[in-house]
Structure 1
Amino acid sequence: MTDTSSTSRPNVAQLASHSYRLAVRDSDFLLGPSMRGVRFLLEFAKADEVLRAWQVRSTIVVFGSARVSQGGPGRHSFWYDQARAFGRIASERGGAFRDGEGVRDNVIATGGGPGIMEAANRGAQDTGAPSIGFNIVLPHEQEPNAYSTPELTFLFHYFAMRKMHLAMRANALVVFPGGFGTLDEMFELLTLRQTNKAPEVPIVLVDEGYWRSVINLDALLEAGMIGPADLGLFRFAEDAETAWACLVEQGLEPVSAPLSAKPKEI
């Protein structure tokens, strides 16, 4: 009987070599620094392919604190309830359900985690509409909330690629009270709008009192750090219904546009 054990084969060292692995199956290679650009591409392509398959043409992005909870202290419960109500309103009126052409517009998209993100995804689920969760790998692992559509729940390593997916289909941005992460995402979009690197999408900040207490916008203007027109890049709203009204007043179209409409570029 012929001995086919690896120890008897003269090319055992070659077969075991890392260089002999198929590149696509070589995790050491794929996760190395030289393949960072490829990993960027993969993170873009995977989510893009799924969203195209679901015919998601545009989204309404909802930002806000992961620390807010239903029944939480202070105004936390109010913010949670309003984010949930907004997810429901936007899904019912915005075109997240398939129309006659099969496309979906103004689909709720969040960072996929707890708090305000959970509430907005939950509001969409209340109506039976799909919603998106763009999760990110963090040192203290964030798990996806239970309300984003499972097939539209993504996980990113790179903040930059996650931000691109949040921005590239956005028809509008609604920002509920939050901390560093929320401020980061909000100013990212405001900067893109200020520099005309993004289309003219309506931006609404919910709870004017909160935002004016944490950001002195008048001081920025008085110091010449922003111009008067920059304060027109966003509006304030106090609840879900007025937030939706603000978006519509600023040009958000509740009914899906023709399928031939050109996609936005970012």
Structure 2
Amino acid sequence: MTDSQGVSSGTPDDQIADELRDELRGVLAEAGITQNRKLVRRILETGLGLGTDGASRLDLKIASAALAEMREAFGLFAPFALTPKVTIFGSARARPDSPAYQQTRNVSAALAERGWMVVTGAGPGIMQAAAEGAGAQHSLGVSIRLPFEEKPNSSIEGSRNVAMKYFFTRKLMLVKESHGFVYVPGGFGTLDELFELLTLQQTGKSEPTPIVLLDEPGGRLWHGLRAFAQEQLLPAGVISPDDFDRVLLTDSVAAAADEITGFWRNYDSLRWAGDRLVLRLRAEPTAAEIAGLDDSFSDLLTSGGFQSRGPLRREIRDHDRLDLPRLVCHFDPFKVGSLYRLIRALNALDSAPRSGSPDHLR
């Protein structure tokens, strides 16, 4: 539709839906795309919408490059979808003879021995140490193209690294695929990654995962950060009292590795179904344990208690972890930042496995 001056009065999506949807279906059919066709069509429609919007050349270059980078990164991670991953962050300036460097090598090696892959930014310093500790076969890199940091470090095989132009696409891939995170002291970049992850988990935009702040032996940097949060941010009312409790501060490599793997001892995954939260577990809790959860976490629920039951209809439709026992509850969406407390309680149940394998993560 156009107005008297010949200017379109409908939205770009409306125009595409009315005029081009059938043609896009034909394009998808010719390309042999049979899975997730609706989502692929939406991507095409968005691209066409950018064109009809009259987006600037710069905006189009950003959108095009970001989508291309994400496609390449998805391809890098796809062969390892069934392998649990931990992302390790830290300073690019750390020297090989520094305690932090050796600490990183040790924790990376410990996690690799437990079957985990290590993801890094593929640069020097702590990123190099993490890749060295894990070994080439257990390392993946997501590097950034910078004038002074153009190539991935020598411990990352070329086929195991994807180079990004934009920090925001790189940050997405460093977080999206991992089931745990270790932060070794670093600068602005490390703190940026840490605070973004804490924000994502505090707001429920990212599912709960274990977060470890690993200092060098005897180091106090992370303790200083926690003190700042407790002494400055908390009194100002800009964070909640338990916001920093979701992370482990330690200078112990063994404690760091145990925190990453132990988080998945009993807890497997979660899913929202309308106003209900589904928690998938490795072991079915007893009636007494469920009653204990009801007493301990009633403040996180909007009504009722925890119910042990089989998969919901939506889960069955999507074939989503159907073999696992689950607890269903009406969880207060404004308290998603406290989910980690509940998960730790689930992992501590007597019915939980005594030890866990990361094989159950996918």
> Which TM-score band (shorter chain)?
0.7 to 0.9
2:146 counterpart SS class? coil
In structure 1, list runs of 5 or more residues that go unmatched.
1-30, 72-76, 96-105, 262-266
Match of 2:229 in 1: 217
Q: Does 1:241 align with 2:291?
A: no
Q: Does 1:113 align with 2:123?
A: yes
The CA deviation at 1:133 is 1.2
Match of 2:75 in 1: 49
Once residues 80 and 141 of structure 1 are traced to their aligned partners in structure 2, the CA distance between those partners, rounded to angstroms, is 19
The CA deviation at 1:251 is 3.0
Deviates more, 1:81-90 or 1:207-216: 207-216
Once residues 109 and 89 of structure 2 are traced to their aligned partners in structure 1, the CA distance between those partners, rounded to angstroms, is 15
Given candidates 142, 159, 170, the residue that maps to 2:167 is 159
2:179 counterpart SS class? strand
In structure 2, list runs of 5 or more residues that go unmatched.
1-56, 266-355
Match of 1:39 in 2: 65
Q: Does 1:226 align with 2:239?
A: yes
Contact 1:83 1:119 in 2 (8 A): yes
Contact 1:89 1:244 in 2 (8 A): yes
Deviations 1:116-142 (A, max 9, x none): 1100100011xx632011111224334
TM-score, normalised by the number of residues in structure 1: 0.73
Contact 1:130 1:148 in 2 (8 A): no
Match of 1:80 in 2: 101
1:189 counterpart SS class? helix
Once residues 92 and 223 of structure 1 are traced to their aligned partners in structure 2, the CA distance between those partners, rounded to angstroms, is 43
Match of 1:255 in 2: 358
Q: What letter corresponds to residue 223 of structure 2 in structure 1?
A: R
Contact 1:193 1:233 in 2 (8 A): no
Once residues 254 and 247 of structure 1 are traced to their aligned partners in structure 2, the CA distance between those partners, rounded to angstroms, is 12
Q: What letter corresponds to residue 235 of structure 2 in structure 1?
A: E
The CA deviation at 1:56 is 5.6
Match of 2:290 in 1: none
How many pairs does the alignment contain? 211
RMSD: 2.0
Asked which structure has the greater RCO (Cα within 8 Å, sep 6+), the reply is 1
Cα 1:180–1:169 change in 2 (3 A) is: same
The CA deviation at 1:242 is 1.6
Deviations 1:136-175 (A, max 9, x none): 1224334311112321111100111111111111100100
Once residues 143 and 153 of structure 1 are traced to their aligned partners in structure 2, the CA distance between those partners, rounded to angstroms, is 10
Deviations 1:33-57 (A, max 9, x none): 4232121111000111122134465
Q: Does 1:185 align with 2:174?
A: no
Contact 1:194 1:233 in 2 (8 A): no
The CA deviation at 1:58 is 3.7
Given candidates 89, 111, 128, the residue that maps to 1:90 is 111
Q: What letter corresponds to residue 229 of structure 2 in structure 1?
A: L
1:178 counterpart SS class? coil
Deviations 1:55-94 (A, max 9, x none): 46542000000110111xxxxx11111100111111110x
Q: Greater share of strand residues, 1 or 2?
A: 2
Match of 2:322 in 1: none
The CA deviation at 1:254 is 3.8
Once residues 168 and 137 of structure 1 are traced to their aligned partners in structure 2, the CA distance between those partners, rounded to angstroms, is 20
Contact 2:76 2:161 in 1 (8 A): no
Contact 1:204 1:234 in 2 (8 A): yes
Alignment identity in percent? Answer: 34
